[in-house]
A and B are shown apart, each in its own frame.
Chain A
Amino acid sequence: MKLGYLGFRKPASMSEILWFFGVAACVKLLLIPSYHSTDFEVHRHWLALTHSLPLAQWYSDETSPWTLDYPPFFAYFERALSIFANLVDTQIVHLQEGLSYSSDTVVLFQRITVILSDLCLLYGVYRLTKDLDSRRRISIWVLIIWSPMLVIVDHMHFQYNGFLLGFLLISLSYLEEGRDLMGGFVFAVLLCFKHLFAVAAPVYFVYLLRHYCWGGFVRGFRRLSVLGAVVVAVFAAAYAPFVYHGQIQQVLRRMFPFGRGLCHAYWAPNFWVFYIILDKGLAFFLRKLGFAIQTPAASFTGGLVGDSSPFAILPQITPLTTFTMVLLALSPCLVKAWRDPRPGMITRWVAYAYTCGFLFGWHVHEKASLHFVIPLATVAVQNLDDARHYFLLSIVSCYSLFPLLFEAQEYPIKVLLLLLHSIIMWLAFSAQFTEEETAPIKKKDDQLDLKRSSNVTAKRGEFVIGRVEKSYLVGLLAVEIWGQLLHPFLFRDKLSFVPLMLISIYSGLGIMYSWIWQLRWIIRSPNI
Chain B
Amino acid sequence: MEKKSGWKVMEDKEEVVHRGIAASFLCIAVFSFLVRVAVSLHPYSGAGNPPKYGDFEAQRHWMEITLNLPPKEWYRNSTSNDLSYWGLDYPPLTAYQSYAHGLLLRFFHPEAVSLFTSRGHESYLGKLLMRWTVLSSDALVFFPAVFYFIVVYYTGRPHGHKTDIAWHIAIMLLNPCLMLIDHGHFQYNCISLGLTVGAVAAVLSNKELLACFLFSLALNHKQMTAYFAPAFFSHLLGKCLRRQNPLLEVSKLGLVVLGTFALVWWPYLHSMEAFLRVLSRLAPFERGIFEDYVANFWCTTSVLIKWKRMFTTESLKLFSLGATILTCLPSMVQQIWAPSSQGFLYGLLNSAFSFYMFSFQVHEKSILLPLLPASLLALEEPFLLEWITLNALFSMFPLLCRDKLILPYTALSALFILICYHLPSRRQDRKETRSFNTYMTTFLVLCSVVLHGVYLTMHPPRRYPFLFEAVIMLLCFLQFTLLTFYSNAKQWMLLKHTILMDKEKKLL
Contacts and interface: CB of A to CB of B under 8 A. Distances in A.
B85 interface: no
B163 A4 contact: yes
Given A408-B128, A423-B26, A424-B27, A2 B166 contact: yes
Interface in B27-76: 27-28, 30-31, 33-35, 37-39, 41-42
A420 B164 CA distance: 21
Given A412-B37, A427-B23, A30 B422 contact: no
A31 B41 CA distance: 7
A32 B407 CA distance: 9
Contacts of A412: 37, 132, 135
A6 to B, nearest CB: 8
Nearest to A428: B27
Given A7-B163, A26-B418, A423-B26, A450 B1 contact: yes
Given A2-B422, A19-B418, A19-B421, A27 B163 contact: no
A164 B1 CA distance: 54
Contact of A29 (B20, B411, B422): B411
Contacts of A416: 30, 33-34, 37
B128 A5 contact: no
Contacts of B135: 412
B2 A419 contact: no
Contact of A5 (B23, B30, B167): B167
A302 interface: no
Contact of A30 (B30, B38, B418, B421): B38
A475 B162 CA distance: 34
B27 A420 contact: yes
B447 interface: no
Nearest to A148: B34
Contacts of A33: 41-42, 407
A217 to B, nearest CB: 56
B236 interface: no
A445 B1 contact: yes
A135 to B, nearest CB: 14
A19 B162 CA distance: 20
Contacts of B408: 29-30
Contacts of A26: 35, 411-412, 414-415, 418
Given A5-B163, A450-B2, A419 B37 contact: no
Contact of B422 (A19, A108, A408, A420): A19
A25 B170 CA distance: 17
A34 B34 CA distance: 13
A525 interface: no
Nearest to A22: B418
Contact of A4 (B31, B132, B162): B162
B34 A420 contact: yes
Given A29-B410, A31-B38, A409-B128, A2 B170 contact: yes
A419 B408 CA distance: 23
Given A7-B163, A408-B125, A1 B28 contact: yes
A232 interface: no
A409 B128 CA distance: 7
A413 B132 CA distance: 12
Contacts of B411: 26-27, 29-30
Interface in A483-506: none
A419 B26 CA distance: 10
Interface in A11-44: 19, 22-23, 25-27, 29-34
A423 B35 CA distance: 16
Nearest to B34: A416
A522 interface: no
A509 interface: no
B424 interface: yes
Most central of B34, B135, B411, B421 by chain A CB within 10 Å: B34
B26 A27 contact: no
B35 A27 contact: yes
B24 interface: yes
Most central of A412, A417, A445 by chain B CB within 10 Å: A412
Contacts of A451: 2
B27 A423 contact: yes
A23 B415 contact: yes
B355 to A, nearest CB: 32
Given A29-B411, A416-B34, A445-B1, A5 B42 contact: no
A61 B258 CA distance: 77
Contacts of B167: 2, 5
A275 B82 CA distance: 65
Contact of A420 (B31, B39, B424): B31
B414 A22 contact: yes
Nearest to B32: A1
A31 B40 CA distance: 10
Contact of B28 (A2, A25, A408, A417): A2
Contacts of A4: 20, 24, 162-163, 166
A2 B422 CA distance: 10
Given A7-B163, A30-B408, A413 B38 contact: yes
B107 to A, nearest CB: 14
A249 to B, nearest CB: 45
Contacts of B33: 416
A5 B421 CA distance: 12
Most central of A30, A420, A445 by chain B CB within 10 Å: A30
B162 A5 contact: yes
A408 B126 CA distance: 12
B407 A29 contact: yes
Interface in B407-429: 407-408, 410-412, 414-415, 418, 421-422, 424
B41 A30 contact: yes
Nearest to A20: B418
A5 B166 contact: yes
Interface in A246-285: none
A514 to B, nearest CB: 25
B350 to A, nearest CB: 30
Nearest to B163: A5
A142 to B, nearest CB: 11
B28 A30 contact: no
B415 A427 contact: no
Contacts of B23: 427
A23 B418 contact: yes
Most central of B37, B132, B414 by chain A CB within 10 Å: B37
Contacts of A34: 38, 41
B178 to A, nearest CB: 15
A413 B27 contact: no
A450 B24 CA distance: 29
Nearest to B37: A412
Contacts of A420: 27, 30-31, 34
B94 to A, nearest CB: 25
A446 to B, nearest CB: 9
A32 B2 CA distance: 57
Contacts of B407: 29-30, 32-33, 108
Nearest to B164: A5
Nearest to A409: B128
A153 B415 CA distance: 22
A115 to B, nearest CB: 11
Interface string A44-76: 000000000000000000000000000000000
Given A1-B166, A5-B424, A450-B2, 14 more contacts: A1-B24, A2-B163, A4-B20, A23-B418, A26-B414, A27-B415, A30-B39, A34-B41, A409-B41, A409-B128, A412-B132, A412-B135, A423-B26, A423-B27
The 6 closest A-B pairs by CB, nearest first: A5-B163, A30-B38, A29-B411, A26-B415, A416-B34, A26-B411
Interface of A: 1-2, 4-5, 7, 19, 22-23, 25-27, 29-34, 108, 408-409, 412-413, 416-417, 419-420, 423-424, 427, 445, 450-451
21 contacts: A1-B24, A5-B162, A5-B422, A19-B421, A22-B418, A23-B415, A27-B34, A27-B411, A30-B35, A30-B41, A32-B407, A34-B38, A408-B125, A412-B37, A412-B132, A412-B135, A416-B30, A416-B34, A416-B37, A420-B34, A424-B27
